[in-house]
Amino acid sequence: MTLDSVGVRYPNGVVGLAPASLSLFADQITVLLGPSGAGKSTLLRALNHLVRPTEGGIAVSGIGPLEARGALRRHRRQTAMIFQQHQLIARLTALQNVLIGRLAHYPAWRTLFPFPERDRRLALDCLARVGLLDRALSRCDMLSGGQQQRVGIARALAQQPRLVLADEPVASLDPATSRRVLKLLRSICKADGIPAIISLHQLELAREFADRIIGLADGAIVFDGVPSELAAADLERIYGEPTGPAHQDEAETEVLTPKPLETLVEEMEAR
C-alpha cells in the first residue's frame, strides 16, 4: 500500500494528519506510535477511508488507487479492523460475533439466509486459533476483556483478510493481558503472512511487537524505522512536544464498522 501526500483536515479545521507519503509492506507488523491526539487513529482510519483524506491518494497493490470505481469496496472487503472496545455485540455468542466477520463477503440480500456450513466451520477454526473454542457458545458479555479481544481477533481472521488494521487493540487491557493479546495477533499474522498496522501508545509494547515503528506527533510523522533505531531524540520528538488541543473523546465513540451494529444484530436475529 502506498500513500502519496495523504493528509486529513477535519471539517472544524483541525489537521488530523499532515500530508504523509509512505509505503506499507506485506509481511510486516507496523506500529503507529504516539501520544493521545498524535493522529494514530486518523492515519489508521484514512487507510480504508473511514476518515476520508482531504488531500493526496492511496494505492493498494492488486487494486490500484482507492479513488477508482469499486476499489474502495474491494479494499474494505479484504481489510479487517480490530478496535479498542472490540465492538462485539454483548448479547450474542462468541461464535455469532465471529460469523459477523463473514458478512463482508456477501451482498446484502445474502445475509437474509443462514450462514453456510463452511462459514461456521471457519468461525470455529478461528476461535480455536485464539484458544477460545470452548467458549464458542458463551455470550460475549460473559467473557473477560482479554477473551473479548481474542474474539475480536477471531472475527477479523474469519474475514480472511489481506490486511489487518488495529486501533489501540489493547488499550483497555492490563499489561500482562495486553502482551498476550499482541503476541497472539503477531503470531497469527506472521503465520498467515498478513500485514498488520497497529496503533499503540505504549512504547514498550511497540518495541516488543513491531517490525517497523512509525512515530507520530501533532499529526506529523516524526520517526519511521525499526525499533532498535528509536533513539532518545526520536522519543522526545514523539512524546516531548505538547500534543495540541485536548483530544476529543467523541471521536472514540463513533461506530466504525461499515454497517451499524444494530443492523447487524437484526440480521443475526433473523437467522
Ligand X SMILES: Nc1ncnc2c1ncn2[C@@H]1O[C@H](COP(=O)(O)OP(=O)(O)OP(=O)(O)O)[C@@H](O)[C@H]1O
| Among residues 30, 42, 87, 147, the one that binds ligand X under rule CB under 6 A | 42
Compute the least distance from the CB of residue 111 to ligand X, in Å: 29
202 Ramachandran zone, left/alpha/beta (phi>0; psi -120 to 50): beta
Task: Draw the binding track, 1-40, toward Mg ion (x: CB under 5 A; -: no contact).
Answer: ---------------------------------------x
Is residue 41 at the binding interface for Mg ion, with CB under 5 A as the rule?
yes
What is the Cα–Cα distance from 208 to 200, expressed in whole angstroms?
Answer: 12
Smaller CB separation from ligand X, 124 or 173: 173
Q: Give the one residue of 69, 176, 245, 253 binding ligand X; rule: CB under 6 A.
A: 245
Spatial contact of 2 and 63, defined as CB atoms under 8 Å apart: no
Find the binding residues for ligand X in span 199-228 (CB under 6 A): 201, 219
CA distances to 64, 87, 158, 169, 255 from 95, rounded to whole Å, are 34, 14, 10, 20, 21
Q: How far apart are alpha carbons 37 and 217 in whole angstroms? A: 8
DSSP state, residue 236: I
Q: Is 146 in the site for ligand X (CB under 6 A)?
A: no
- Within residues 172-201, the interface with ligand X by CB under 6 A covers 201
> For residues 5 and 61, which CB has a smaller minimum distance to ligand X in the complex?
5
Amino acid occupying residue 241: E
Element of type H or E holding 29: strand 29-33
Under the criterion CB under 6 A, does residue 251 sit at the interface with ligand X? yes
Q: Which does 253 bind (CB under 5 to 8 A by kind): ligand X, Mg ion, none?
A: none
Report the SS3 class of residue 114.
coil
Q: Which residues bind Mg ion (CB under 5 A)?
A: 40-41
Instruction: List residues near ligand X by CB under 6 A.
Output: 10, 12, 14, 16, 34, 36-42, 201, 219, 244-245, 247-248, 251
